[in-house]
Structure 1
Amino acid sequence: MAHPYHHALSSVNNWGGTVEDYLAIHSWFDASKEITADFRHRALRHHAEGVFMAETIFGPTITLSTGRVIPTRWVGEQHVREDLGFIPSFVDWVRSIRPQPWMGRAQPLHKQLDPIAAPGV
């Protein structure tokens, strides 16, 4: 699946309604393409937490134009499965990140906030 529209067509095949009934949810999952336009964008929302986040944003259910009510989670799970073949956890994504030195380079917060411990701050 390359575009939210195609995911929405798949949703119509699964549960009825129209493409417009689903497009906002599928577009939300793929909005991270604004940050990186390759498959890595999926690390932000294509996981179990992303599915639950969609439910928080769009509500626990959506009402289709036909009047049918379906769980938002079904739509999110469908999207992730179509792109990845399964629903990973966020930890599955994090395990694949190669740590870099800059990622752990932080000053203790008390040194940043204490003008005596960190002159010139």
Structure 2
Amino acid sequence: MAHPYHHAVSSARRWGGVPADYQHVHDWFDATKAHLPDFRHRALRHHAEGIFLAEDVFGVTLTNSDGRVVPVRWVGEQHVREDLGRIPTAADWLRELTPRSWMGAVAERLSETLDVRATP
């Protein structure tokens, strides 16, 4: 799918109501395009953990304009499957990262950055 609106149209066909009933959920899944406007944005929310996070953000269910109660998880699963063909885990995405030296660098010790002689 190219746009969250098309996902919302698909949701309305599947569970009734109108696309606007689902638009906010699909917009949330694709909001990460603002940071990385290619397919890699999906690594941030297009996985099983992202689907469960959507429940935390939007609630367990939504009620569409036809009065039907639809689990938000179903909407998230639909979005991810339409984009990827399956629901990966966050680990599936993370395994594909190429490790870089800065990713595992030892952080400066806080005591080395503070003047420990200073007293409040």
**Cα deviation, residue 109, structure 1:** 3.6
**Structure 1 residues 112 and 72 mapped into 2: Cα distance closer, same or farther (>3 Å)?**
farther
What aligned pairs does 1:23-34 form with structure 2 within 5 A after superposition? 23-34=23-34
How large is the RMSD of aligned CA atoms in angstroms? 1.3
Instruction: State the SS of the aligned residue for 2:67.
Output: coil
Counterpart position of 1:97: 97
In structure 1, stretches of 5+ residues that fail to align are 117-121
Tell me the secondary structure at the aligned position of residue 81 of structure 1: helix
Aligned to 1:80: 80
TM-score (norm 1): 0.90
The separation in 1 between residues aligned to 2:109 and 2:96, in whole angstroms, is 28
CA distance in 1, matches of 2:74, 2:109: 42
TM-score by length of 2: 0.91
- The share of aligned pairs that are identical, in percent, is 59
Which runs of no fewer than 5 residues in structure 2 stay unpaired? none
The number of equivalent residue pairs is: 116
**1:20/1:114 CA distance change after superposition, 3 Å:** same
